[in-house]
Chains A and B, each alone.
Chain A
Amino acid sequence: MKPTNIKDPEYFHKVIDCQYACPSHTPVPEYIRLISQGKYDEAFKINWISNVFPGILGRICDRPCEPACRRTRVEETPVAICRLKRVAADFKSDSTDFMPEVPQEKNGRKIALIGGGPASLTVARDLLPLGYTIDLYDDQSKAGGFIRTQVPSFRLPEKVLNQEVDRILNMGVTTHFNHYIDNLQTIIDKGYDAIFVGTGAPRGRDLPNLPGRQEGDASIFIGIEWLASVLYRHVTSTPEKVLVLGGGNTAMDCCRTARRLGGEDVRVIVRSPRADMKASPWEIEDAEEEGIPIIDNHSPIDFVIEDGQLIGMHFQKMTADYDENGKRTLLPADEAPVFMACDQVILAVGQQNAFPFIKPESNIAINKYGLPELDETTYQSSVPNIFFGGDAAFGPKNVITAVAHGHQAAISIDLFCQGKDLHVRPAPWTNLVNQKMGIQDWMYDSQVSTDKRYAVPTVDRVKSLKNRLVEVELGFSKKTGHEEALRCLNCDVQTVFEHSTCIECDACVDICPEFCINFLENGDEEDLRTRLLAPADELSQSLYVSPPLPTGRVMVKDENVCLHCGLCAERCPTSSWEMMQFTYNSAVAGQK
């Protein structure tokens, strides 16, 4: 293999599994380290710069970082990254020092944001400090988009939501609430320099052709609409027996909300096997802990109506068949239909994009999936000054993806308004700082904690099931947060190898607890992976290869389960190994 180019910012970035997996590339180990030091303000600031909504995401994030966490490969459970984010938000002071200055004198550019969700708010946050004038249009009375209407209060209290949304609005966004745009052309005609569409995927899927759908309409609801009705108190109770159809997070929110509004026998019915459910494992767990059974492999046949009243549903049991490519086909099992009695059905079987406000006269190209034709890097549509982001761009994803889109769209809009090439993106800001503090002493806590993942305390179930406004999770205390933070393996503190000073004494090989380090004859990657001291079969993890050493051999380090404990550097007599903290901050709008 060729020597690894550690000057490429993406090499060490990839070693920081959590940050690499995060769509917004939040510097996770750095903020976790600050939490362990009790520096909540600093930890919050890092989060706020990167993911804009630490308090919200610390509760409801989809956490792509956690399955990526190195600890899952070293032991069973990842660091509770998401809940530590909440620790930073919970314990930060009231100081607003982290807020950037918004210039009084504007740069003369006006931007319209359609939809007040996380993507639009991120664009506003990124562009306001650069002097842009921002107009935000939303058909609701408050900003937040689907975070507000779809996420129940027992997962995200309104107070937290308002705090984080208002923080951005108060930077100087001109808001136009209760203002439904029925034709985008009216905004285009106002002569904005750029328009950002962040309207989400607002339409919940229905099952219109299922027999009995029309007759039972009074007792059948679309999940996301029902959740919004609960929020606005149009719905305040449910009957005793409720069936929730669907296997995603919306289904989990619906069933848990129904449980709080009077549903005694609430069940979730999923078409596919449980393993294929889209809902996050922790949300499924939370639902089950509230006494809600998840019944998988049941496909709906019809709504059963008696005397004009919905009394239940029939389901066909299914079996999943996987071909050699892992592609799944659901086949009806050879069994009689199952009847389940119910008084109400909530359909949470997916969401779709809808752009009824985009008329042909605006010339925005829409592809065969009903989504706008976009440049995948710049999010620019076929109309050069119109950009899309969040669920409205590439279909329903999650909040952190919407935030990442917002950052990129803000960069694009800023470049566009300056007449620059949108594809010449600003580079990430990186830095590599030696952690040496003396002989064999480091600036970071190199001891590896063997503690198991700490559970987040919750309120009494009886109390929380009585009131949908009571937040279930209490969040970590400062003490537990500290202990959990110490579980982080400091993957941003890189093991950097200098081949020219190495005397090949093997000290690093001998001390490494994980057998990551090898000195051997070079070969191609496939060959090297078979010859290392420990199995190197995790192909997604890089091999760090040095230039040839005096004996003709090379150093090969498998990054897979490195604990970043610093022992290789401590035992190196020539400081050929150094522990260096790698900082990777994604580019932001206005960055040179």
Chain B
Amino acid sequence: MSFERPDFRHPKLAKNSAGYSRKDYEGAISTLCAGCGHDSTTSALIQACFELSIEPHRVAKMSGIGCSSKTPAYFLSRSHGFNSVHGRMPSVATGANMANRDLLYIGISGDGDTASIGMGQFAHALRRNLNLNYICMNNGCYGLTKGQDSATADKGSAGKKGKPNPYTSIDLCELAIELGASYVARGFSGDKTQLVPLIKGAIAHNGLAFIDVISPCVTFNNTSTSTKSYEYVRDHIEATNTFDFVPLQQEILAHYPEGTSQEVVMHDGSIIHLHKADSSKDVTDRMKCVNNLELEKSKGRLLTGLLYVNPEIMETHDIINSTLRPLNSLTEADLCPGNNALQMINASLR
């Protein structure tokens, strides 16, 4: 068994504009089961960060507990990270974000970590629209404890044990739209052509970007009776749209047929181009977005792609009007402005 990847990489691979090769975004070799969807999601994350020329040392990876929460070890090994208590990733991410708003926060969680033990934390991070890329690797089961149904397992779906799940499932995307996330998407680990742009859009987005990645558990939940198996997802996948992510200051070269395209300008000036098969599926209207999800669900289809986006919603720092600088850059003079400042405050209250 290999404990590390060979050092060599394809000699003709390009470097990105920050001067990094894709290898600089990799992590340790995965110890997850062979064929785990999480590894593909990890690979999509590496690809997205590489393509966006993100500097690895400007990233913080936050996670909780579970198979998914192990993955920060497998990407961006030169970045900061915090592996927190089960379900508590959003709190730790909030604290870190408050202390240093300049870093890029990637929160990794799973369906157990998010929809069961961490549900309360998840809900409040959404409400506050924390500037966090929240990626939920959703396989519908507790893979680390031998595959019990999780809260996102669809009603009637049966994993390796063969017993259909009797409970209603939680749709994390609907919940996220409901509770105030400003960028909500669903991807599939087996489709990187869709997942990589989704992650890139999330990184460019200012506010809470939630991506529910259907990421099959190859060991416990890849049966023909499961709705989160590779085969089932491929057969039932329905995309809201395909899209290009055009980063800031990059010329738009692609040509889009009229009437089927929608442009969303992100906070940093980059643009998301959506190509829609069905023009009624507006992704900026919250009510329509929830309707779309419910409609496809009633047809037995799984809606993926960018589901909802609103770049105008204020993120936590803007809401609480916190300092624009990371706390570690504040000097004594900033924090204790002196007697004059105090006198001015007092005067304003007289």
Q: Is the CB of B34 within 8 A of A503?
A: no
Q: Is the CB of B43 within 8 A of A573?
A: no
Q: Is the CB of A570 within 8 A of B34?
A: yes
> Would A506 and B190 be within 8 Å (CB), given that A440-B2, A446-B2, A572-B35 are in contact?
yes
- Residues of A within 8 Å of B39, CB to CB, are 506-507, 510-511, 571
- Residues of B within 8 Å of A567, CB to CB, are 2, 5-6
The 10 A-B pairs at the shortest CB distance, nearest first, are namely: A573-B35, A448-B6, A510-B43, A440-B1, A534-B10, A535-B12, A505-B35, A573-B34, A506-B40, A573-B218
Interface residues of B in 1-42 (CB under 8 A from A): 1-2, 5-13, 29-30, 33-37, 39-40, 42
A514 vs B12: C-alpha distance when bound (angstroms): 10
Instruction: Count how many chain A residues have C-beta atoms less than 8 Å from C-beta atoms of the other chain.
Output: 36
- Residues of B within 8 Å of A574, CB to CB, are 35
- Residues of A within 8 Å of B222, CB to CB, are 503
A34 vs B34: C-alpha distance when bound (angstroms): 31
- Residues of B within 8 Å of A513, CB to CB, are 5-9
Residues in A lying within 8 Å of B, measured CB to CB: 73-75, 439-441, 446-448, 450, 503-507, 509-511, 513-515, 534-535, 537, 550-551, 561, 563, 565-567, 570-574
Q: Is the CB of A571 within 8 A of B34?
A: yes
7 contacts between A and B (CB under 8 A): A73-B11, A504-B230, A505-B189, A509-B43, A567-B6, A573-B35, A573-B219
B216 at the interface (CB under 8 A from A): yes
B43 nearest CB across to chain A (Å): 4
B80 at the interface (CB under 8 A from A): no
- Residues of B within 8 Å of A572, CB to CB, are 34-35
- Residues of A within 8 Å of B9, CB to CB, are 513-515
A447 vs B3: C-alpha distance when bound (angstroms): 9
- The closest CB in chain B to the CB of A572 belongs to B34
B58 at the interface (CB under 8 A from A): no
A446 vs B8: C-alpha distance when bound (angstroms): 14
A490 vs B259: C-alpha distance when bound (angstroms): 55
- Residues of B within 8 Å of A507, CB to CB, are 34-36, 39-40
A346 vs B1: C-alpha distance when bound (angstroms): 59
A514 nearest CB across to chain B (Å): 5
> Would A448 and B8 be within 8 Å (CB), given that A572-B34, A573-B34 are in contact?
yes
- Residues of B within 8 Å of A537, CB to CB, are 12
- Residues of B within 8 Å of A73, CB to CB, are 11
- Residues of A within 8 Å of B43, CB to CB, are 506, 509-510
Q: Is the CB of A506 within 8 A of B189?
A: yes
A517 nearest CB across to chain B (Å): 12
B215 nearest CB across to chain A (Å): 10
- Residues of A within 8 Å of B35, CB to CB, are 503, 505, 507, 571-574
A195 vs B190: C-alpha distance when bound (angstroms): 66
Q: Is the CB of B12 within 8 A of A505?
A: no
B288 at the interface (CB under 8 A from A): no
- Residues of A within 8 Å of B34, CB to CB, are 440, 507, 570-573
A471 nearest CB across to chain B (Å): 35
Residues in B lying within 8 Å of A, measured CB to CB: 1-2, 5-13, 29-30, 33-37, 39-40, 42-43, 189-190, 192, 216, 218-219, 222, 230-231, 234
B222 nearest CB across to chain A (Å): 7
- Residues of B within 8 Å of A534, CB to CB, are 10, 12-13
- Residues of B within 8 Å of A514, CB to CB, are 8-10
A520 nearest CB across to chain B (Å): 10
- Residues of B within 8 Å of A510, CB to CB, are 39-40, 42-43
Q: Is the CB of A503 within 8 A of B231?
A: yes
Q: Which residue, B6, B11, B42, has most C-beta atoms of chain A within 10 A?
A: B6
- With beta carbons under 8 angstroms apart, the residue of A74, A441, A504 that contacts B11 is A74
Q: Is the CB of B189 within 8 A of A450?
A: no
Q: Is the CB of B192 within 8 A of A563?
A: no
- Residues of A within 8 Å of B2, CB to CB, are 440, 446-447, 565-567, 570
- The closest CB in chain B to the CB of A507 belongs to B35
Q: Which residue, B2, B43, B219, B234, has most C-beta atoms of chain A within 10 A?
A: B2
- Residues of B within 8 Å of A566, CB to CB, are 2
> Would A570 and B6 be within 8 Å (CB), given that A506-B192, A534-B13 are in contact?
no
- Residues of A within 8 Å of B33, CB to CB, are 573
- Residues of B within 8 Å of A74, CB to CB, are 8, 11
- With beta carbons under 8 angstroms apart, the residue of B7, B11, B30 that contacts A450 is B7
A550 vs B5: C-alpha distance when bound (angstroms): 30
Given A507-B39, A509-B43, A514-B8: 19 more A-B contacts, CB < 8 Å:
A74-B8, A75-B8, A440-B34, A448-B8, A503-B222, A505-B190, A506-B189, A506-B190, A511-B30, A511-B39, A513-B6, A513-B8, A515-B9, A534-B13, A535-B12, A535-B13, A561-B11, A563-B8, A571-B30
A504 vs B30: C-alpha distance when bound (angstroms): 18
- Residues of B within 8 Å of A506, CB to CB, are 39-40, 43, 189-190, 192
A73 vs B33: C-alpha distance when bound (angstroms): 32
> Would A570 and B1 be within 8 Å (CB), given that A513-B9, A535-B12 are in contact?
yes
- With beta carbons under 8 angstroms apart, the residue of B5, B11, B42, B216 that contacts A505 is B216
- The closest CB in chain A to the CB of B6 belongs to A448
A332 vs B39: C-alpha distance when bound (angstroms): 64
A440 vs B29: C-alpha distance when bound (angstroms): 14
- Residues of A within 8 Å of B12, CB to CB, are 534-535, 537
- Residues of B within 8 Å of A505, CB to CB, are 35-37, 40, 189-190, 216, 218, 230
- The closest CB in chain A to the CB of B9 belongs to A513
B137 nearest CB across to chain A (Å): 14
A187 vs B67: C-alpha distance when bound (angstroms): 81
- The closest CB in chain B to the CB of A538 belongs to B12
A565 vs B12: C-alpha distance when bound (angstroms): 19
A327 vs B268: C-alpha distance when bound (angstroms): 56
Q: Is the CB of A448 within 8 A of B10?
A: no
A535 vs B40: C-alpha distance when bound (angstroms): 21
